[in-house]
Amino acid sequence: MRLTLHTDYALRVLVHVGRHKGDLVTINEIAECYGISKNHLTKVVHQLGRSGYLETVRGKYGGVRLLKQPEEVKLGQFIRETEDDFALVRCMRCDSPDECRLNGDCIARDALSSGLSAFFKVLDDYTLADMLNSERCAAE
């Protein structure tokens, strides 16, 4: 499974903003820090604001800050909200398993579904706070 750039950027935004503990951070600051296009980040930040993760403040002294406590942001749930396609193989997109050309002879669909569930179960054990703590330890 591969996450989209949108999710990658969204995680980076949350980590960067989370490091600033309530202070406003500008999109320009985030863009410079990670070498990401300001236009891309504007879209990501807008979506994070609409989803209730960020407070956005307009104006000359505006910026963004976390709306949720880092301990409340479960990585698994966050990724479920930012990604739109978790079908690892084509048959997982089918409305009916009967559409699979291999019919009942293939266990890949069930195995991959179980693997995807396990992936999210592990991610649900981690929060943005864990990421921020890890970042702090690496910086020391």
pLDDT profile of the chain (140 residues), mean per 10: 89 95 93 93 95 92 94 95 78 61 68 88 95 65
The CA distances from residue 133 to 19, 72, 128, 137, in Å, are 9, 14, 9, 6
The three-state secondary structure class of 70 is helix
Provide the residue range defining the domain that includes 66: 5-139
pLDDT of residue 139: 47
pLDDT of residue 16: 95
The span from the CA of 140 to the CA of 137, in Å, is 5
The CA distances from residue 15 to 107, 111, 126, in Å, are 38, 33, 13
Could you tell me the CATH number of the domain that includes residue 49?
A: 1.10.10.10
pLDDT of residue 140: 39
Query: What pTM, to 2 d.p., does this model score?
Result: 0.82
Q: How many domains does the chain have?
A: 1
pLDDT of residue 110: 79
> What are phi and psi for residue 35, nearest 5 degrees?
65, 40
pLDDT of residue 18: 95
